[in-house]
Chains A and B, each alone.
Chain A
Amino acid sequence: MNSIILNAATRLLVSLLLLFSVYMLLRGHNLPGGGFIGGLIGATGFVLYAIAQGAEATRAALRYEPQNIAMIGLGVALGAGVWAVFFDDAFFTGQWLFIGATEDDKGLPISSVLVFDIGVYLVVFGSILTLVLALEEEV
């Protein structure tokens, strides 16, 4: 599509949407958001880009094939589940680490649950882009 307005707006919007998607992913554990929503928003950004610039440019911007991103996401999610096994817990038991925790403050929480959510993000992101880009090229 050749639209100057869309082209100009897309440059701003894509980065904003991507940033927003990561924000949604990270806040998801306590507030509305999470990997699924984050992945959808991130994909929306690139879908917009694809509409403005075409599928080929989008693939170049992505650097990785979207289906590979989805597969990697699945692997990350699986890894987050298997991780629990090393701590003698059942598959997919969340493992937590609180960096710099004090008595009052639990510090910066890092967890296998977050890693799992990142996997979900990548799967949703990659799967949608797989579909959209293939459709774009097909049409």
Chain B
Amino acid sequence: MRSGRQEGPAAATGGDGKIGVTGVAKTGTEVPRVYGGPAGWISVLFPAAIFVWFLQFLGPVAAGEQVLLGIDWVPSMDIRMSVLIDGLSLTFGLLISGIGALVTLYSTKYLGNHPEYPRFVLFLMLFMVGMLGLVLADNLIALFVFWEITTISSYLLIGFDSDSAKSRRSALQALLLTGTGGLALLAGMILLGNVAGSFELSVILTMGDEIRADPLYIPILILFLAGAFTKSAQFPFHFWLPNAMAAPTPVSAYLHSATMVKAGVYLMARMNPSLGGTEPWFWALVIAGGFTTVFASLLAVRQTDIKQVLAYTTLMALGALTLFIGVGTQDAIKAAMLFLVVHSLYKAALFLMIGIVDHETGTREVDQLRGLARKMPVTFVAGALAAISMAGIPPFVGFIGKEFLYKAGLGTEIASLWVTGTIFAASVLMFVAAGIAVARPFLGRTPEALSGTHEGPAAMWIGPLLLGGLSLWLGVFSDVGETWIVAPATWAVYGSTSVAVDLYLFREVNQAFLLSLVTFAAGFVLYLAQRPLRAFLARAIEISPLKFDPGWDRTLDGLKALAEWQTRILQSGVLQRYMVIVFVTLALGMGVTISLKDALGPVVLDFAEEFDGLVFKHWAVLVFITAGALMTAYTSSRMTAVAALGVVGIGVALIFIMFSAPDVAITQLLVETLTVVLVAVAMLKLPHLNLSKEERRPGHAFLSLTVGALVAVVLVAVEQGDIDRRITDYFEVASWPEAYGRNIVNVILVDFRALDTFGEIAVVVIAALAAYALLRGTRYGRVTRDGEE
């Protein structure tokens, strides 16, 4: 018996003798594989090519044009694979493909030796395609599909280190939160599509006034914001993002700071012309964004793992972007778009930098890293460039970004103090965080433990160096970013090309400039006092009642308990109880529907007339069926019951034949035959029925009579009503000339409604496989299939 069991899997895997001995589960990993391979270079060239392709649109878009491309996807449902390239999508497209190329180049060294590297590249490319599709899609449904692709690829990438329970938990958390938001978004999109009469964004964006005046505006807004806030980790959905840092560092740099988490921001920016500008929009975004900004920057300074510091500052940036899109003035949109680019550049660079440090030293703890500048000079320069931009020091583009945030905040009419104060606090803490991320680990004297550290490979530092350099270049030559990126993006979000965008490093000493100086001073003081500050924040967080991560666990546990509870009730494992549940549900469903809809109307049953048309053969079948039914109910042998049930089925088939439905009759007959055979085979195993008096079940009798009566009532009701014959008529007319078939039933099945049939046969296969698995699953440890009896 035992040897037979081992032969089974061996034979199934194609007679590979080596595998059969050790078992089945681990066969895949025993095969040696070539690491890295061409996957690395392909993954770098692909985004780079896309980046170059995007460059051609810079000219037209900077001139204020919109490029529309596309093909029909599901034309009957107004779903198009359409592409809208304007300032906003082009900015995102360039960021996604450009940073994508640098990150994949970086990954060739960072993960190139990982046994699952090709899989990693696959996920990363899947994400990139999804993200590009998301920002380019001109159709809401297409946008949603791409949105979900980014959610799923993010899940796969966070959980890439699938041996670690922490990774798996973080991945699942991100998936559940953003996936739930995605469902809300889908509902919002369908509502919006109905209100606007089109799923094309280019149409919807021109209909802002109609949409805002619609009574469905508030539900649409709530559903859209649920999607955007979960995706972009706005308070109170923020906690998944720091946990997502369980992913490999290139993923954190790419998905969870530069691109994917900005999908929510993208959505809000994109929908601004049609959903924005109202009070609910303003307050929802300003409050959630502002709160996230302050909350996240405080938490950022509290962290000791530099990657976590960066994660929380990313949260802060997302909050600030939400805040300024919510404010919605020309200056605010301008500032948001500028800050979007600024942040993507420096944050991706910093993540990549800390990845190099981690790669070379094995730690990211701020207390253990000192004086790396001498050991890793290029990484230090790259990190420093990015950090100076993050701290907002001139002449870096980060300074311009901060100036414009201040200017927009000060210029806001409502809630100016809240907006400006928020940004001031965040900027100060950002200055501190930049210091923690770069000044702390790189400056000072190298400790003994780190003396053996050396510079990372070029493929790794090229990315951060380029991004950091870009932060400087865009700061000094501010008109470059203004003309090609920020101005067109602002036009797209604001919905008009009349906004003048004029970026500058320094023009005059004004409030914003003075505020910047105060920021530096405050930031510097706090940087020097970072230890007490961190201790203070740690204590504050300790006593605060807001604990999201444990709360998440409690919610999940509660869900599981609920599932367990209802499974215990519903899945009793007793077949009779299942049948009772099914039939009670059926009876309730029919009964309630009939009474609520008043479907019967005044039912006139003229029995004399009804029975008048019946001839002998009808009566014969009627008697046949009734006899079969009675026999099924009263027999004490299972086998007789099954055969009697077959009699009922054959009687029904005879009825089909009499009323000229041969296809249905044949199918009914065959199914009936097979059912009897199947049940008879199963029955050989079952014990004899012993029907004593007590075991007559009046409840079951009542239930079956009720169901039977209700079905009869429904049939009578159908007979009484007018049947809409439009579809039937169409099939009758079109069957021969259009589908070349005379058997309408078959033509409907295989041609007119082939997609339905395909779904049905897929269900048939799934059911068969599931049943097969169930039957097989019980066999192990008993008899082998090859039958050594």
Partner-B contacts on A (CB < 8 A): 24, 28-37, 40-41, 43-44, 47, 51, 56, 67, 70-71, 73-74, 77-78, 80-81, 90-92, 94, 96, 106, 109, 111, 113, 116-117, 119-120, 123-124, 126-128, 130-132, 134-139
Contacts and interface: CB of A to CB of B under 8 A. Distances in A.
Contact of A34 (B743, B767, B776): B743
Given A127-B768, A131-B771, A139-B682, A81 B758 contact: yes
A40 B761 contact: no
A132 B743 contact: no
Contacts of B787: 56
Interface string B727-747: 000000000000111110111
Nearest to B684: A139
B284 to A, nearest CB: 40
Given A29-B743, A116-B758, A137-B779, 14 more contacts: A24-B666, A29-B740, A29-B747, A33-B666, A34-B743, A36-B667, A37-B667, A40-B667, A47-B677, A71-B765, A78-B758, A106-B740, A116-B754, A117-B746
B779 A138 contact: yes
A126 B755 contact: no
A134 B771 contact: yes
Contacts of B670: 37, 40-41, 44
A134 B764 contact: no
Interface string B757-777: 110011011011101100110
Interface of B: 75-76, 662-663, 666-667, 670-671, 673-674, 677-678, 681-682, 684-685, 739-743, 745-747, 749-751, 754-755, 757-758, 761-762, 764-765, 767-769, 771-772, 775-776, 778-779, 785, 787
A132 B741 contact: no
Given A37-B663, A77-B761, A127-B764, A92 B681 contact: no
Contacts of B765: 70-71, 73-74, 123, 126-127
A47 to B, nearest CB: 6
Contacts of A32: 662-663, 666, 743, 745
Contacts of A123: 761, 764-765
Contact of A124 (B740, B764, B778): B764
B667 A130 contact: no
A15 to B, nearest CB: 18
A43 B674 contact: yes
A80 B768 CA distance: 22
Contacts of B662: 32
Given A81-B755, A109-B740, A124-B764, A136 B681 contact: yes
A80 B749 CA distance: 14
Q: Mostly helix, strand, loop or mixed at chain A's interface? A: helix
Given A36-B749, A124-B761, A137-B785, A51 B771 contact: no
Nearest to A73: B761
A63 B352 CA distance: 57
Given A29-B741, A74-B761, A92-B758, A131 B678 contact: yes
Nearest to B764: A127
A102 to B, nearest CB: 16
Q: Mostly helix, strand, loop or mixed at chain B's interface? A: helix
B742 A31 contact: yes
A117 B681 contact: no
- Residue in A31, A116, A119, A127 whose Cβ sees the most chain B Cβ within 10 Å: A127
B674 A34 contact: no
Nearest to B685: A139
B781 to A, nearest CB: 14
B786 to A, nearest CB: 8
5 contacts: A34-B749, A80-B754, A94-B739, A134-B776, A139-B681
A51 B670 CA distance: 17
- Residue in B670, B677, B682 whose Cβ sees the most chain A Cβ within 10 Å: B670
B552 to A, nearest CB: 40
A135 B662 CA distance: 30
Contacts of A70: 764-765, 768-769
B230 to A, nearest CB: 33
A32 B668 CA distance: 13
A122 to B, nearest CB: 9
B13 to A, nearest CB: 14
B764 A131 contact: no
B78 to A, nearest CB: 14
B755 to A, nearest CB: 5
Nearest to A138: B775
A35 to B, nearest CB: 7
A134 B754 contact: no
Contacts of B673: 44
A106 B785 CA distance: 51
B750 A33 contact: no
- Residue in B673, B740, B746, B787 whose Cβ sees the most chain A Cβ within 10 Å: B746
Contacts of B778: 138
A77 B760 CA distance: 11
A128 B767 contact: no
A132 B757 contact: no
A40 B674 contact: yes
Q: Which 10 A-B pairs have the closest CB atoms?
A: A127-B768, A40-B670, A32-B662, A30-B742, A29-B741, A134-B775, A34-B746, A92-B754, A123-B761, A130-B768
B758 A130 contact: no
Contacts of A24: 666
B787 to A, nearest CB: 6
B539 to A, nearest CB: 61
Contact of A28 (B746, B762, B776, B779): B746
A130 B685 contact: no
Contact of B674 (A44, A90, A136): A44
A67 B767 CA distance: 11
Contacts of B739: 94, 113
Given A29-B740, A43-B674, A34 B681 contact: no
